Structure 1
């Protein structure tokens, strides 16, 4: 597959992942599917906007750049017909690195939150983080420590797990585009000007 076509495929995959990341992070503001009275009762990691900023907004720009690469004209520069396409592929590598950082941020925030567990109302009437070092992951009996919001543990666990997986997939796709972009920089794009001199 030509480097431009590969980039377009990656961009088309990143767009829905970014949308899912945005939605998952937004849903985290409604623990258990309910509106919470005091925002300070939300888990800290929800406010880090891992899915909104990292897997969402920072991923939209690379995805749009990748999608446009296949249709990028390569009129060339300085007498070199493949110069324009090569520069576009190089710039896509820089955007891929930005996307990788954003996805990595979302991944780390999600991993920390899963290990830490949600903030919830305990039976003694205080809002705290009752779990330690992911102990609740292997023992669902501990989930009963959280009185309110109802079902906050599976809610947070599910949504942060989704963000974790999305972040991991996005990191892999952006890493692939870094390699693809470097190949396109060195070889050009066979769709337009030939790959490594082959027309």
Structure 2
């Protein structure tokens, strides 16, 4: 059990910087090149307002991170099993957060940025189903904000990678918690019968 608690804690410690990174990246998406005028004028891609990184990969991911890190504070056998069941629930919350972050980031990437083109403010890549990602020569269609395509693509790819890592970590703890929640009572009964 100590090994599984130690494993869960290490997973929680890995989740913590990932969730903070997700929050930071989402905040950077709101302010292209550090400029606040575009958020004030509502000139950001519509999916950015769903806060995939801030809510899903960030704040929601802090729940499993804190739960995993604080596992094993009580030394009672049955409480350890209940604690591992709680970590399973936290892992499920983390999985949902990671999936939400991944889906919103993916849709934002496919939609492309809202930018000023020769035809005015629009989504010049929205109908391309992501093909623009492999055609960097077309990115110059966005005249303002300067470098918005590169900015969005880079940050959204970071969010996608963070979401995948968070998903894997929560999935590992889900498996760890389920195995220990099921097996620990059985082990306890066997230990009790051997001591009797």
Shared fold per TM-score greater than 0.5? yes
**Residues 61-114 of structure 1: CA deviation (Å, up to 9, x unaligned):** 1100000113x2132xxxxxx210000001100110001001100000111111
Once the two structures are superposed, the pairs formed by residues 1-199 of structure 1 within 5 Å of their partners are 2-37=3-38, 38-70=40-72, 72-75=73-76, 82-124=77-119, 126-131=120-125, 132-188=128-184, 197=191
Q: Distance in 2 between matches of 1:188 and 1:120?
A: 56
179-188 or 162-171: which moved more? 179-188
TM-score, length-scaled by structure 2: 0.89
Unaligned runs of 5+ in 1: 76-81
1:87 alignment partner, SS class: helix
**Residues 34-84 of structure 1: CA deviation (Å, up to 9, x unaligned):** 2224442111111111111000110001100000113x2132xxxxxx210
Q: Distance in 1 between matches of 2:180 and 2:41?
A: 47
Give the CA deviation at 1:23.
0.2
User: Across the two proteins, how many residue pairs are aligned to each other?
Assistant: 186
**Residues 9-51 of structure 1: CA deviation (Å, up to 9, x unaligned):** 1000000000000000000011133222444211111111111
Q: Distance in 2 between matches of 1:62 and 1:152?
A: 33
TM-score, length-scaled by structure 1: 0.88
Give the CA deviation at 1:187.
2.8
Give the CA deviation at 1:172.
0.8
Unaligned runs of 5+ in 2: none
Which of structure 1's runs of 4+ aligned residues deviate more than 4 A? none
Q: Distance in 2 between matches of 1:39 and 1:85?
A: 52
